Amino acid sequence: MQKITKEKIEENENNTDKVLNLCKNARTFIRTRNPRQAEPLLFEALEISPQNPYVLVALGDAKRMQKQFTTSAKYYELCLGADPLNPFAMSGLGDAYRGSNNLDGAIDIWSQALDAYPENYLVMTRLADALTKKGDLVTARKIYEKAIKLNPEDPFALSGLGNLLVRLKEFDLSRPFLEKLVIKQPQNPRAIGALANFYRRQEDFSNAKALFNRILDIDPNNVYAMDGLADCARGNKDYEKAKQLWGKAMAAGMNPAIAKTRIADACLQMQQFTQARQYYDQVLAMSEDRFALFGRLRLIEAEPGDERNKIIDAAQILSRLFALNPSDDRTINEFNVFRTRYPEIDTYIQA
């Protein structure tokens, strides 16, 4: 009996060592962003140790890196079945939920993770980011601020809180976080872009342009920087330059509907009415884009023409906007402006 027991112990020890070595080698592939090469090693480890949390989390990570979020979530959930408070599985499961656009699920699991591990600032920034996307800026701000206190150097907390404060128009408070982020990550286009956007929002187009150009020095095809430069040109009322930059951004991969709508807006500012209409109509041929519809509405107001035709055209555009969202504040405001000027528009809207 002693001999059998000893052999069994040795077998278990050998299996444990094998699983650890397989996972170690698999993690090397995951760290170098080669998750497919990690998978055979992890599946072999899983056969030996089916409930091993380390193996299950690694498989979840490998699948998540390949954007296989449903499968990824399954492995994290299996891990939590065996180890309910595993911090890596809780964090990863939230990432998998976020990847599959289940933001509520991500918020729920990350909230549970913070209850279990109140000082996990990596989960804090994930949760705050998700809450920001859901529009709960007050709660997100508190969580970001707590993360900053725990780790003042964390780039995700610096970026998240800095950008959130820009959205809240608390520019004096946001600036130190965004500047510190760029100091820490001087070659990171996203960090530089956040500070550039800060300056752009304050209409400091000179500093914004310098930073957007700095991004293009690092990444010549960065669409965000091209769009930012175009917006700065628009802010400086250099609409022709803005048109050129948005055209360049579109060629580099910017969403055509967004780029063409902005080019049309610039044409409208220069009273290039025919060109503006062409661009708006190109966008509307692709989809009922609300910004293109609003642009067409502004075009109707600006372009010379017969008053009755203006009313009919405006009624058609407003009807399309109401069909998209009958309770949209901007649509209602635009309708009220036209109704004040042309009371008879109600007849055409109802028709």
- The dihedral built from the CA positions of residue 338, 340, 345 and 349, taken in this order, carries a sign that is positive
pLDDT greater than 60 at residue 27: yes
The answer to whether residue 15 scores a pLDDT higher than 70 is no
The pLDDT of residue 5 is 56
- Look at residues 183, 199, 200 and name the one whose alpha carbon lies nearest to residue 191: 183
Q: Is the model's pLDDT at 36 over the cut of 60?
A: yes
Residue 274's CB: how many other CB atoms inside 10 A? 8
Question: Can you tell me the mean pLDDT for 163-176?
Answer: 93
Q: Residue 96 and residue 111: Cα distance in Å, rounded?
A: 15
Predicted pLDDT at 102: 95
21 and 58 Cβ atoms separated by less than 8 Å: no
> Per residue in 180-194, pLDDT tens?
999 999 999 999 999
Specify whether the CB–CB gap between 110 and 126 falls below 8 A: yes
Considering the chain, what is the average pLDDT of its residues?
91
Query: Residue 319 in contact with residue 331, Cβ under 8 Å?
Result: no
Q: Does 68 have pLDDT greater than 60? A: yes
Terminal Cα distance for the chain, rounded = 93
Task: Give tens-digit pLDDT for 210-250.
Answer: 999 999 999 999 999 999 999 999 999 999 999 999 999 99
Model confidence, pTM: 0.75
pLDDT above 50: residue 114: yes
* Residue 51 DSSP symbol: T
Residue-wise pLDDT tens digits, 122-149: 999 999 999 999 999 999 999 999 999 9
Amino acid at 31: R
Residue 187's alpha-carbon distances to 58, 65, 219, 220, in angstroms, are 30, 24, 10, 13
Distance CA 137, CA 326 (A): 26
Name the least confident of 9-13, 135-139, 174-178: 9-13
Query: Quick one: pLDDT at residue 8?
Result: 42
The token pair that represents 249 in the structure block: 């951004």
pLDDT in tens, 77-91: 999 998 999 999 999
Q: Where are the beta strands (DSSP E) in 285-335?
A: none
For residue 325, the one-letter residue type is: N
How would you label 19-35 residue by residue, b for 16+ Cβ within 10 Å and e otherwise?
Answer: beebbeebbebbeeeeb
Question: What pLDDT, on the 0 to 100 scale, is given for residue 241?
Answer: 97
Nearest to 99 by CA among 76, 79, 124, 122: 76
Mean pLDDT within 40-47: 91
pLDDT band at 309 (very low <50, low <70, confident <90, very high): confident
Mean pLDDT of 3-12: 46
The band of 301, judged by pLDDT with boundaries at 50, 70 and 90, is confident
Percent of the chain with pLDDT over 90: 77
Q: Amino acid identity, residue 167?
A: R
Give the length of the chain.
351
Percent of the chain's residues with pLDDT above 70: 94
